[in-house]
Structure 1
Amino acid sequence: MRFTLDQLRAFLAVARTGNVRRAAEELHLTQPAVTARIKTLEAALGVELFDRSASMRPTKNGAALIGYAEQYLKLNSLIQRDVGRPDGMQSLFRIGVSETIVQSWLPEFITTLRAEFPRLTVEIDVDISRTLRERLFANAIDLALLMGPISDYRVENIPLPDYQMTWFRSPSLSVSDPAAGAPVITFARDTRPFRLLKETLLERCGPGAVIFPSSSLSACFRLVAAGLGIGALPLSLAADYLTSGQVEQFDPGWTPEPLSFTASFLAAPEVSVTGRAAEIAQMVATAYDKN
């Protein structure tokens, strides 16, 4: 009886998704290739693993194999991690990142990740956290660095340091209160910071508060520096603007809530690179936060 890791991966993907097409997308294979691997595995074991009449539902034998297959792949992952050479691992690693992280410690993270896995090809997708969450569940990215945690039993969340929010204005702007009428420049409309800030402004300042959302945090700081409004933005991203005197902090008596981030990934038997990448992200982010 002989079977391969690729056959077990195909089996688990179909068992998890209940669909050959979705499994093929997850594994970056064609549907015939996934089907062939399942049939070859069934031939090697001498049993049917799926009930084809019930949307690829595992048979009794298939259900029994799931636990063994996960252990087998996990053991292979541990051998690669603890015995194999990290610099020998070569694959495509897809990272989804919130712009807040792009503007802060992403370069240091990629540098450290590549130092440990130099043959890794890294693909970076920058988007809002809601979209990154969707892409993670669609297996379009391997690791999401986003506003979290993601509350789902399938997801592992590694906590990252919070981003403190504060108020900024141009030195030429005398506004000292968000209720004074100047537009509030902040995160994009379809984000958690925008929603929370809008709710708080409505409660504290009434319906007259005006918000200018932007999908670019760099654009937010440039608009604030130009005196076009006040900013509700992460403090750690303002260093260059504060040092150059283009913006200054001010205190209206309250600040928006801190932003919580996580390194999130789908739990799976083989997550050696992904799990290690999440640990590296936590290490790099913590060092950046202390500086």
Structure 2
Amino acid sequence: MADFRSLEVFYWVATLSSFRRASEQVNTTQPAVSQRIAALEHEYGTLFERRSRDVALTERGRVLLGFAERFLALQSEMIAALDETGRTTGTLRLGVSETIVHLWLSRFIERMRAEHPGIGVDITVDISPNMQAALVANELDLAFLVGPITVPSLVNRPLFQAPVAWIAAPGLVPDEEPLSLGALMRHPLVTYPRNTSPYVELRDLVLRANLLPSQIHTSASLATIVKMGIERLGICVIPPDVVRDELSSGVLRVLPVEQALSDLTFTATHAKRSEGHFVVDAARIAEEVARDWAAAR
């Protein structure tokens, strides 16, 4: 009869399609994972098709996965019910886009502290491509990033959309309305790093229009981008939401332009887990906090 540990190992092999990555997820060795899967297959028949780089569930495997998910969800419910406080303890390894740091991260931390007082939050601020890699490598439990991420082992929960605009200090750009792309390209541009969606869109616009900007500066620090804009070092290509105070005070202004930019879509993304897991609940809390923030902005 399969025990909870074997079902947990099976669940992660099925979810990640890899014995190696499953061993990292459950903090054991790859031979130990193989041994548990072999024992399950001895009892229930072939559960996986072995391929050159990964594994795929057989029909029997798909049936067992449904039961494994139910067993693991029941286990989480049992642990919560037997816990004297009804709370989980541990650490949430959280990756966050700096845009969200400037918007509503503090509200999320307050909600986590209220609903999960036993969970500490270890925050890493990074760009979305790096956080995606960290999620896949099991170096992060949850990330608030530009998504959704189309990886089978990951779950995406929608957070909000942030418009992106051309923003500059008053007087840097002539008061033409609306400004053409060519007029914008006569000034240095300041935006997110090269492997992010705002930079890629900006680069593609330039290539399609056969234009050559005077310079494109990039930074992983949103605070640095904003400071460069205030100091008239270029036109910032960022969401206006992160510079509301500067826009209200007149230190920066949103430029009237012909060329609109795509919104940034943010998601709370994590590896597939059973319902009731604190990471799943943290994603739910983030969705609620983001929705309340968006309604009030």
Interval of TM-score (by shorter of Structure 1 and Structure 2):
0.7 to 0.9
Give the alignment partner of residue 192 of structure 1, picking from 176, 190, 197: 197
- TM-score norm. by structure 1 comes to 0.82
Counterpart AA for 2:226: F
Distance 1:154 1:18, change over 3 A: closer
**Does 1:239 pair with 2:238?**
no
Residue aligning to 1:265 = 270
Structure 1 residue matching 2:261: 3-state secondary structure: coil
State the alpha-carbon separation in 2 of the partners of residues 283 and 244 from structure 1. Answer: 30
C-alpha offsets along residues 168-199 of structure 1, whole Å, 9 cap, x if unaligned?
21124234545331111111111011111222
Change (3 A) 1:59 1:255: closer
Runs (5+) with no aligned partner, structure 1: none
CA distance in 1, matches of 2:20, 2:60: 22
Classify 1:46/1:154 alpha carbon distance in 2 versus 1 (closer, same or farther; 3 Å). Answer: closer
Counterparts of 1:165 and 1:287, CA distance in 2: 20
- For structure 2, the 5+ residue unaligned runs are none
Tell me how far 1:37 sits from its aligned partner.
6.4
Cα separation, partners in 2 of 1:126 and 1:28, compared to 1, 3 Å: farther
**Aligned AA for 1:179?**
G
d(CA) in 1 for partners of 2:203 and 2:59?
52
Q: Within the alignment, does 1:47 sit opposite 2:43 as a pair?
A: yes
Q: 1:267 to 1:162 in 2, by over 3 A?
A: same
Residue 179 (1) aligns with residue 182 (2): yes
Question: Are 1:179 and 1:205, in contact at CA under 8 Å, matched by a contact in 2?
Answer: no
Aligned residue pairs total: 287
Q: Distance in 1 between matches of 2:17 and 2:72?
A: 20
The residue correspondences of 1:133-144 to structure 2 (distance < 5 A) are: 133-144=132-143
Q: Does 1:213 align with 2:212?
A: no
Q: Distance in 1 between matches of 2:234 and 2:61?
A: 61
Contact preservation (8 Å) 1:48, 1:59: no
SS in structure 2 at match of 1:287: helix
The answer to whether the 8 Å contact 1:24/1:34 transfers is: yes
The answer to whether residue 171 in structure 2 is matched with residue 166 in structure 1 is no
Q: Distance between the aligned counterparts of 1:93 and 1:26, measured in 2? A: 14
Q: CA deviation at 1:50?
A: 7.3
**TM-score w.r.t. length of structure 2:** 0.80
Match of 1:121 in 2: 120
Report the CA distance shift for 1:223/1:32 in structure 2 as closer, same or farther (over 3 A): same
Mapped partners of 2:56, 2:266: distance in 1: 36
| Deviation by residue 1:29-85 (Cα, 9 ceiling, x = unmatched) | 35576578668x76xx98387799x69998998776433222201223345568967
2:257 — aligned with what?
Answer: 252
Structure 1's 179 and 48: CA in aligned 2 closer, same or farther, altered over 3 A?
A: same
Kindly tell me: are residues 163 and 173 of structure 1, through their superposed partners in 2, closer, same or farther at Cα, counting changes over 3 Å? same
- Pair 1:280-2:279 in alignment: no
Report the CA distance between 1:224 and its aligned residue. Answer: 0.6
Equivalents in 1 of 2:194, 2:269: separation in Å? 23
Per the alignment, residue 229 of structure 2 pairs with 224
Structure 1 range deviating more: 20-29 or 81-90? 81-90
Identity %: 33
Q: Residue 166 of structure 2 aligns to a residue in which SS?
A: strand
For the residue of structure 2 that corresponds to 1:237, the secondary structure is helix
| 8 Å Cα contact 2:80-2:87 kept in structure 1 | no
Between stretches 157-166 and 207-216, larger displacement belongs to 207-216
Query: In structure 1, what residue type is equivalent to 2:189?
Result: V
Q: 1:237 to 1:35 in 2, by over 3 A?
A: same
Deviation, 1:149, is 1.2
